[in-house]
Structure 1
Amino acid sequence: MLRVVEKTRIWFIISAIIIITGISFMIYHKGLNFGMDFKGGTIIKIDMQKNFNKNDLDSTIQKYVKVNTYDTTKVGSKELDISVDSDKITDANSTKLFNDIKKKYNLKDKDLLSRDRIGASIGSELLQKAILSLTVSIILMLLFIAWRFEFKFGIAAVIALIHDVLVTLSVYSILNLPVNSSFIAAILTIIGYSISDTIVIFDRIRENQKKMRDKTLVDMTDTSVSQTVGRSICTVTTTIVTIACVHIFVPLPSIRDFTLPILVGVASGCYSSIFIASPIWVILKKRSNKKRASLAN
């Protein structure tokens, strides 16, 4: 039998180290590295029609924007994405930039696949809505679990969900990866995955509360986790393998922006369901029992 609850301090310390490290890097980087979706900017997508070296384009791009205010991404071998920070390039200059690239690589007007400008105000509004969607989803899950099980289960599950979000944000902060709308979609997916894994364990705990009245709260919880941990590990392994294959073999930035946080979040969700949610429920349950005992006396 796994001794999960007895080693609660170890699990909490591991999570605290990751989260505190992430917060430290966040302070060092002066916040998260928000992508164009949130901070605003101009995104130009060009079909180059042939293999190219994107470093060769720097001299052309820097005629219109300064260094460190743009990023270039090579999609496959023949498509170029140019992302310029908000207000660093005008529509007129973005047209001139494409014309220079078109002339240098013998392109046609149709090879300009798209040119989108996202205002900073739109990015700010998108960030607010993203935070609102995360908050509402967590509150609704708390209410559902409190109704389906009990309120202490709901509190433990929500803390585990917040843990998963913080761990994923910490990894992004440490690696200074861009946070965009795909990241938010991935976070919502992670929350759904993590809560389903946690509910499986909580359901077994609820069943064993009736069957194992002769056991202590800690032993009963450890037994419940041991009975479900095999399923959790098998589920997370198959999920990670599938998503990892998509991440590796589908080299599109939009896909990888979605799969990378899911890989981190799914692993964190499995960890939190086993090593965070259950111990927290035990802590809450013990406090509740102590209050009842003191009131009885």
Structure 2
Amino acid sequence: MSRPPTFVPPPGARAYRLRTARGEFAVVDAPVGGGAELRGTALLLPGFTGSKEDFHPLHQPLAERGYRTVAVDGRGQFESDGPTDDESAYAQEELARDVLAQAEALGTPVHLLGHSLGGQIARAAVLLDHSPFLSLTLMASGPAQISASQQERVKLLRDALGVMSMAEVWETMQAMEPPEETDTGADLDPGLEDREDLRRRWLGTKPAQLLATGRQLCVEPDRVAELAAVPLPFHVLSGSLDDTWPVSLLDEMALRLGARRTVVEGAEHSPNCEQPLATARALADFWDSTAPAARP
């Protein structure tokens, strides 16, 4: 499970509900500050079991580089509403159309970034309509289904959700996982307040969202060739270790896309939380390079 360092938004950021043609979505919107010139806007999509809070560490350093960042809870994630039991509402195309509506509601072309599951949803949105986007960054998000070991973990979770409540599954996960460990392998030990926030996020996420998106992660086809035909700049960013998609697979995907490739040393599956300054620097450098004046 993704574990953000804190649930408190950074200074200057605003949490609100973004109204779109497909409903309202909870967002954290961080404008540029300190007199920085606005260079662009980025829409950030979280991963499986994650939320908009996963991007808190990136907002301030990206604001200093001139980028407004809008992190969103997808349909059924944490503070964005969605059906509790209807898995069809979370079909990948439905989630992708939500992303297009979010981009439209922001009223400006955006740099799109998706982490893990969010990367595959972002890819699906771009394949439906690339016109709202200036670029696509796939962060720790691979070309097809997740690794066999992660598929087994998802299967265990889906089996548990079939017979237990969300609260019961949470208690079982806490009993099985030592407090100092995270799924990313990061050396983080959340305090009591953050533990309660993590529990609140888990209980706020709709079971049908977890069931549907967990299945998607296990059966996602390779759509890299389709994506490579889209006329956008691409960026593949990951940590130096990743057990969800092997780093070598991400290297190969970047080559197939003709994408910029960034490997963040000292990070694993969540470079946004584990090495946020290096991650923000790589993102801003990429976005800067896509500006018209920077293109050959």
Q: TM-score over 0.5 for the alignment?
A: no
Normalized per residue, the structure richer in helix is 1
Question: Under TM normalisation by the shorter chain, which class is it?
Answer: under 0.3
Which of these two proteins has the greater Rg computed from alpha carbons?
Answer: 1
In terms of fraction of residues, the more strand-rich structure is 2
Q: Give the structure-2-normalised TM-score.
A: 0.23
